[in-house]
Structure 1
């Protein structure tokens, strides 16, 4: 079967076009019905046969017989099938042997075998065919080793019309022995539990890059134009320039697998591939235009690749640990290593809706403000009149003594109007922290947060982070703007928009005096009655006191209720 799968990745020609037809028929024959087979046990028994048959022509003594083969081989069952395993292997072997004389074409003979194993998973198909071959091969050598000393062996050899002298077949046996040895040494390919692994293994072999051997590999599958340039810059930053990358240097490799939207690559797609493959810091598939259509179809079907790019994570054994880690990478960068689904779940257990989650690594000065615990206001809109009004009100409040740093983040899918707003802010306030590109980074990050949460099955009704990020992503059509107030620590933040936001700012003379005691977010919540409950929450929180930190009321970052305070001295 490996020889058939290996043809997936050959350049297209007349013969490979015929191979395409055969491979498509093979996929059509794949109709798993839930039956399960312990492929590991069958493979172990097959390996024993191959090793004993090729090791020597001298019979193996009882003391060398594998205890596994004696105790477990006969107990192998097929769950979900009425047919015993031995019958299935016998039928496959019979089809192989009956066609050895050359009757029928290769296409027909191959399809007969695949039809017999159509209801099994891919790993079981491989193992069953190998087991059928091993059974026939082992029977042959068992008879030949006993012949001519054993009369029973002589009689069976005569009925099977086996040759009396096999010396003339020694070159063929030697070649077959080498093949068998290679099959046994590469037995891990057969142990892979699904077609994901088969596709990954075949694709990796097509790359032919020795640096990938025994490494964790991330396959970046996309159209030849890859990504919008800004999102591409963010991806490069998160995978190569992120501060955590220095601790992971060489731990994983990224390989770009471009796939055309149609069966024939256009000149534009060719130029895009040449440009990006030479400019970006990752490996790429050689001549992706020649990828066999069966591999392309497998990627689309098994990894659910459509038009949007995906990042498929393979461990050092070629097993798929995450069918799409792109959003995870855009959110956490190298912190997400090893980029498995398990790691993604772990990271979300550590995260909540905070400023660091929203802005991680977008701008170094912004990160510095967060680390210093400064009050920060993120605000957005593309309505120039609203921006002018909002900034005027905030400048007035800052003159009254409120220390808060302003960061304009525009809107989702920023247009030229946002560029005009940036120019206006620079003129009115003489500074804007984020560039147009960094604003796009911010919104790409929020999109990835929402996609990651949804892919893990979260819903906005019960997930605070998903609810808040969805609210921001849905503000694009509003003429009025919004603002998020918060700081790095304590991590609580509050989002206001429209009339509620302006009402809050107009009331600053009433609540501004509470900022020193409650903190900016606490004072805003108190002024607008936003605290969920006055009853203390039950979430465990340990807050380390830092000089200058507000004392008194602190809100739980998870449920937004007040924390009951206990002082612990270390």
Structure 2
């Protein structure tokens, strides 16, 4: 509704405006306890429980007692209508209230009305369950000489509307006083005061039974128009006020994040909208842990932004949990979770469930700030927040990293304390780019070295020999069983090659393409049986769950993409070149759903990535010539990986694919189109570069 369209319908005419203005003092004052008074009026008329006013409000309300009593008496004596017309009686009340401003006049008159007629609304409650008793009480109290049930609903509507108008005017006046850009015409307040008081007189007469006429109905219509006008005007002003608050708070965000702070407090108090004594809780264990915000004043703090539904991002949560578990024992820092954009009561249950079992601290639900609309706006615009978990790193008042997830994803525990540029990390760890780096996050058994000096090796295999889709394999039980048997056989032959006098310490595991949980479980069962049969303690099959499998694939892609970017600027050393080849090859095998094997030593960069069928044939050859193989392993300075590589290259070059024009394809991930020199991971011949355009990752287009 356009407020301009209703102005002339309800405002007092010129004569009434002059009359009311004449009896309104220019030094009219507000009443400080107006809000408290209106709350009491509302609770009284709704038969609700009162909240005790504070000491200052109580004093102010006591001072209003005489004028409220006076108005109450006037309302009682005017109910008979013998004191003149409604207009005259309204003006008489306004004369009594001349030293109060317009909104205060409304509050005082409504308080006087509530004093007189609260018992009517109490009887009304009785009417709902015992009509005859209620009517009898009305007659005894002389609140109506006949069945007034017919007018109760009309009276209820009118009382509710005039009370709401009074509340709206109080809020509007407060906004106008605090916000210069908001302007409400004084005539609106003046006219509303007249008609609210006029309506209170109508209601009082109707309740007393002395004036039940069409005037009550016409008054309801007028008050409806006034109510609609002020509701819309209030909404407009509140929107303006909210915009100003957001603008002001946004400026505060810009100021605080734009300057180096002395410690973490200013930033944390701004983000969490709480004081230094606010308590934060961690429910990672059965024993609840608590700290105060002031405990986070110094050091490194990770503020984890996300939507409330953080569990929907299992991959990102797993990355952060794995990082926390690897670093918290050696590094002093804490994670504080801050869900953005959620405060409504219906979110309480979800919030309580989400925080359980997480290693980060959080506020109590009641302490979540209403200002998160500003935080959400700022975080989306300045930091690119998009609902996914986004760890911001603070250190002694400085934002080290707006979103450290990609850094954690790529470097794991090596990223801490986040004060090193990524290029420096590549330089620092550029010589540690072997299988240990690739398998970060997959399982600790694949990345943590033992206490002894014995070389430790890891072998992971993945993909499928079957060319059917995943659904087809699930439907075809025989194909699935063949797949399980083949991988178990491959692992068995590798166990045989690694045991014996050489006693190679080897851990192995299956990394499925996407959703190979069933396949992994059955392969694990069979391989574990083979290891038991070998009776060799240095051999172990490591179970890899599906969350870790997803982490592996997303991380391999991230590594390949980052290395391609670095390759454009000629910043790759030999080890990084090898890592690019291996990660890109793994991705290509996954794209083709082809079985593959990666094997390497944990404390070196030396690793082999190979076609699984080729690798299987080599293992068959090794098992047939086990004595020769074992002799080579026992020779001085022998290295398991180097010997295996030599056996692979001495007779299995492209043997598995004699009819194809190529034995391996490699797709460079990213937009780089420059010439990339690369050797085939199977035959080690230089690869020919072609350009392939494909619409999605599921395309199985052959490169001729």
CA displacement, residues 486-543 of structure 1 (integer Å, 9 cap, x when unaligned):
213443111112333234334434776554455222223334459xxxxxxxxxxxxx
Q: Secondary structure at the match of 1:217?
A: strand
2: CA distance, partners of 1:254 / 1:453: 29
Residue 105 of structure 1 aligns with which residue?
182
Aligned length: 355
Residue 644 of structure 2 aligns with which residue?
524
Residue 605 of structure 2 aligns with which residue?
491
Preserved CA contact (<8 Å) 1:493 1:521: yes
- Offset of 1:339 from its aligned partner? 1.8
After superposition, where does 1:75-474 map in structure 2 within 5 Å? 104-105=181-182, 191=259, 202-206=270-274, 208=278, 209-227=293-311, 232=317, 235-239=320-324, 241-242=325-326, 244-249=327-332, 252-259=333-340, 270-287=348-365, 288=368, 290-317=370-397, 319-330=398-409, 332-340=411-419, 342-351=420-429, 352-359=432-439, 362-364=443-445, 367-368=448-449, 372-381=454-463, 383-398=483-498, 403-404=503-504, 405-413=506-514, 414-430=516-532, 433-437=541-545, 440-441=547-548, 443-445=550-552, 447-448=554-555, 450-451=557-558, 454=561, 458=565, 463-464=576-577, 465-474=579-588
2: CA distance, partners of 1:123 / 1:102: 18
2: CA distance, partners of 1:190 / 1:482: 50
CA displacement, residues 38-80 of structure 1 (integer Å, 9 cap, x when unaligned):
xxxxxxxxxxxxxxxxxxxxxxxxxxxxxxxxxxxxxxxxxxx
Cα RMSD after superposing both structures: 4.6
Q: Secondary structure at the match of 2:309?
A: coil
Preserved CA contact (<8 Å) 1:254 1:283: yes
Gaps of 5+ in 2: 1-175, 184-236, 279-292, 465-482, 533-538, 651-683, 685-704
Residues 324 and 466 of structure 1: is their aligned pair in 2 closer, same or farther, counting only changes over 3 Å?
farther
Which has the larger displacement, 297-306 or 419-428? 419-428
CA displacement, residues 432-482 of structure 1 (integer Å, 9 cap, x when unaligned):
532343x74365256336436746873578653344234334544655432
TM-score by length of 2: 0.42
Residue 568 of structure 1 aligns with which residue?
none
Residue 614 of structure 2 aligns with which residue?
500
Q: Secondary structure at the match of 1:257?
A: strand
Residue 547 of structure 1 aligns with which residue?
none
CA displacement, residues 252-287 of structure 1 (integer Å, 9 cap, x when unaligned):
221112246xx89795x6444212324323222444
Residues 356 and 453 of structure 1: is their aligned pair in 2 closer, same or farther, counting only changes over 3 Å?
same
Q: Secondary structure at the match of 2:511?
A: coil
Residue 26 of structure 1 aligns with which residue?
none
CA displacement, residues 323-364 of structure 1 (integer Å, 9 cap, x when unaligned):
222243356555432224x34433322223213323458335
CA displacement, residues 349-391 of structure 1 (integer Å, 9 cap, x when unaligned):
2223213323458335863459631343222346313303312
Residue 115 of structure 2 aligns with which residue?
none
Preserved CA contact (<8 Å) 1:189 1:198: no
Preserved CA contact (<8 Å) 1:310 1:326: yes
Of structures 1 and 2, the larger Rg is shown by: 2
Preserved CA contact (<8 Å) 2:436 2:603: no
Preserved CA contact (<8 Å) 2:315 2:551: no
Preserved CA contact (<8 Å) 1:381 1:476: yes
Residue 289 of structure 2 aligns with which residue?
none
Preserved CA contact (<8 Å) 1:485 1:495: yes
Gaps of 5+ in 1: 1-98, 127-187, 531-559, 561-570
2: CA distance, partners of 1:470 / 1:356: 17
2: CA distance, partners of 1:305 / 1:282: 19
Preserved CA contact (<8 Å) 1:512 1:523: no
Residues 264 and 189 of structure 1: is their aligned pair in 2 closer, same or farther, counting only changes over 3 Å?
closer
2: CA distance, partners of 1:357 / 1:480: 23
- Offset of 1:310 from its aligned partner? 1.8
